Amino acid sequence: MLKLLREQYESTGSKHLSKLIRPSSSLYAHRFGSWIRALELAGITTTRNKKSSP
């Protein structure tokens, strides 16, 4: 799953993968604890501050 996520990011260059990726971002969140964690494990850096509330 992480390889697929990384490949999708590399092909689109988009940080908004949660709307583009299949399987869904919710499946990644369930499997890896959160969407952000899945991105990190896939080697995709995020700019979102984890300590701030949405």
On whether the CB atoms of residues 35 and 27 are closer than 8 A, the answer is no
On whether the CB atoms of residues 31 and 1 are closer than 8 A, the answer is yes
Instruction: Name the one residue in this structure whose structure tokens are 């697929």.
Output: 4
Distance CA 13, CA 6 (A): 10
Residues contacting residue 6 through CB under 8 Å, at least 6 positions apart? 42, 43, 44
Q: pLDDT tens string for the chain (54 positions)?
A: 999 888 888 888 766 777 777 788 899 999 999 989 999 999 988 776 454 444
pTM: 0.71
Distance CA 33, CA 28 (A): 8
